[in-house]
Structure 1
């Protein structure tokens, strides 16, 4: 149970840090520069939101696989 708390706390901290991360490719960056600052922030947040779900799923599956192989 202690490990789950640690993972939850680390995940939450990474989520808070991700708000300042720039997750734009070069094409998205040029588009965002043309839109202005407020829409650019929304575009960046959307990119991070869309990237989080598949990365979280892969992380969870990898963790479960690692735990299963550790015990066996």
Structure 2
């Protein structure tokens, strides 16, 4: 679901000269995803190393420019 939302965001806002903003959105989504996974349990908190392993298995889509307006 998260990947689908990001792909839709990239398709809507993926215009020329907007790559930096799209990359910032992806970074914020990564941080928010880790934050919510980290809050799920105080015993099994999500450290960055474990989150990096999760991102290798379930990668988020990379931003790309789709419209040359």
Query: What TM-score does the superposition give when structure 1 sets the normalisation length?
Result: 0.47
More helix by percentage: 1
Q: Which has the higher contact order (CA 8 A, sep 6+)?
A: 2
Query: What TM-score does the superposition give when structure 2 sets the normalisation length?
Result: 0.49
